[in-house]
Structure 1
Amino acid sequence: MLISEIFHSPQGEGKWIGVPSIFIRTSGCNLRCWFCDTPYTSWNPEGEKMSVDQILEHITQYDCEHVVVTGGEPMLSHEIESLTQRLHADGKIITIETAGTILSDVHADLMSISPKLSNSIPVKDPAWAHRHDARRDQPTVIHELIKRHPYQIKFVVDQREDIAEIEDYLIRYPEIDRAHVYLMPQGITAEMLAERMPWIEEVAAQLGCQVTRRMHIELWGNVRGK
């Protein structure tokens, strides 16, 4: 697997916000969100080739039960199946953070899906804009992921205009329990997040969804290893 970084930090978003976790960040992505906060795993992927054995050995330095496999898009790697099965055998509680475009036979105690809305399309890069738009919504994958695993859905909200698209998405997937849906602001600084959060909280209440902070950005900014 191409691994960008492995680190220990509190989970910054969603259901298990604040929970101490080991993050295994894979490098490589099939999408190109213009606002990607980890471009070193997407636009300019970099990392170190590591076997599953090497990854498991590396994380033994952390006395921690929760493991988050993130990216990039971790479901791109076929080795994620072996990695998650062995993490599970070791008693780890596993979150997989994915855009929900690829299906794989993994073990996940929480499948954290962040569907990419049209607000993510990199319009300034026409070639990638076309590929990204064609790949970002995969209904069969979404249906299977939420059927197979405990899940949460996290929408990145940039502008008020995004809300109509979120409402349409939830109508198209009626099996999604809105209690498991989180709206979170787009932003790479605490100031950007704070600017959007008040109206996002209002909208979430109207939709019957939840909101999530992005605690890691609030505390440390958009830095690696947090």
Structure 2
Amino acid sequence: MSRQGEGKLTGMNSFFIRTSGCNLRCWFCDTPYASWSPTGKTVSLDQLINDAIQAKVDHVVLTGGEPLLPAAIESLCDRLFEEGLHVTIETAGTIDKPIACDLLSLSPKLAGSTPDPDQHPRWSELHQSRRLPIDIMRRLIDGAKDYQLKFVVSSPDQFTEICSVADQLDAAADDVFIMPEGVTTEAMDRAQMQLRPLTESHGFQYCDRMQIRWYGNRRGT
């Protein structure tokens, strides 16, 4: 059990289920053990449900990697709902599945997320071709009770693309969260000086990575 550190439910005690494996390769990925070099063990749905119940919290967060990749994700969501739990899905929105959730935390990947084509030519091409399927994102939003758009931003220059994506998804400004790229408090403090004023000028929400401020950049938080 931990606390949600990002977005609308920041500070909420939550049980996190992290899947391993991803169909994208963001160069700045802060969970490379779930994407670039996926690791982990197989856990049954029964065990996951039991662990979520034993955590004695009302909120479950499905994250990754990319949590929409596993074949059993729909069954997992259904069983969590049966237990009366609130389900957040943190996804890049690139996989078309008729899945319902209480909060869809959709993180569209901007052009600047693409890995270096000289170092990773295959993944650079795949990432660029997969990263922004607007129609799929719209369908995922339609299936959720609530949603947020969460953009990882490394430069003020990316706000033009952010506004374009938000417009294509018909997103209200207060459903758009701007989160700095960076995994240290020092990096986030530097980014905040540039990004927060621009975020507020667009009417968006600034989204710090509070889990890093609370626990540091370490696994399991």
- Are 1:31 and 2:24 an aligned pair? yes
- Are 1:156 and 2:155 an aligned pair? no
- Are 1:216 and 2:211 an aligned pair? yes
**1:130-209 matched pairs, under 5 angstroms:** 130-149=125-144, 150-173=146-169, 175-209=170-204
Per the TM alignment, residue 199 of structure 1 is displaced from its structure 2 partner at its CA by 2.1
CA RMSD of aligned residues (A): 1.1
Per the TM alignment, residue 54 of structure 1 is displaced from its structure 2 partner at its CA by 1.8
TM value normalised by structure 2: 0.95
Q: Distance between the aligned counterparts of 2:58 and 2:100, measured in 1?
A: 15
- SS of equivalent to 2:7: coil
Query: Which has the larger displacement, 20-29 or 189-198?
Result: 189-198
Per the TM alignment, residue 162 of structure 1 is displaced from its structure 2 partner at its CA by 1.1
Q: Distance between the aligned counterparts of 2:197 and 2:185, measured in 1?
A: 19
Structure 1 partner of 2:58: 65
8 Å contact from structure 2 (residues 99, 140) kept in 1: no
- SS of equivalent to 1:15: helix
Structure 1 partner of 2:76: 83
Q: Distance between the aligned counterparts of 1:92 and 1:58, measured in 2?
A: 12
Per the TM alignment, residue 145 of structure 1 is displaced from its structure 2 partner at its CA by 1.4
- Are 1:54 and 2:47 an aligned pair? yes
8 Å contact from structure 2 (residues 99, 143) kept in 1: no
- SS of equivalent to 1:116: coil
- SS of equivalent to 1:33: coil
Query: Which has the larger displacement, 37-46 or 137-146?
Result: 137-146
TM value normalised by structure 1: 0.93
Structure 1 partner of 2:91: 98
Q: List gaps (5 residues or longer) in structure 2.
A: none
Q: Distance between the aligned counterparts of 1:59 and 1:221, measured in 2?
A: 24
- Which one-letter code corresponds to 2:214 in the other structure? L
The list of structure 1 runs, each at least 4 consecutive aligned residues, that deviate by more than 6 angstroms after superposition, is none
- SS of equivalent to 2:22: coil
- Which one-letter code corresponds to 1:115 in the other structure? P
Q: Distance between the aligned counterparts of 1:45 and 1:17, measured in 2?
A: 27
8 Å contact from structure 2 (residues 185, 213) kept in 1: yes
- SS of equivalent to 1:225: coil
Structure 2 partner of 1:5: none
Per the TM alignment, residue 30 of structure 1 is displaced from its structure 2 partner at its CA by 0.2
- Which one-letter code corresponds to 1:156 in the other structure? V
The Cα offsets for residues 204-223 of structure 1, whole Å up to 9 and x where unpaired, read as 11211111110011222220
8 Å contact from structure 1 (residues 31, 135) kept in 2: yes
The Cα offsets for residues 43-76 of structure 1, whole Å up to 9 and x where unpaired, read as 0001111221121122332111100000000000
The Cα offsets for residues 95-133 of structure 1, whole Å up to 9 and x where unpaired, read as 000001012232310000000001110113111100000
Which of 4, 7, 23 is residue 14 of structure 1 equivalent to?
7
8 Å contact from structure 1 (residues 13, 215) kept in 2: yes
Q: List gaps (5 residues or longer) in structure 1.
A: 1-7
The Cα offsets for residues 27-50 of structure 1, whole Å up to 9 and x where unpaired, read as 000000010000000000011112
- Which one-letter code corresponds to 1:128 in the other structure? W
8 Å contact from structure 1 (residues 71, 97) kept in 2: yes
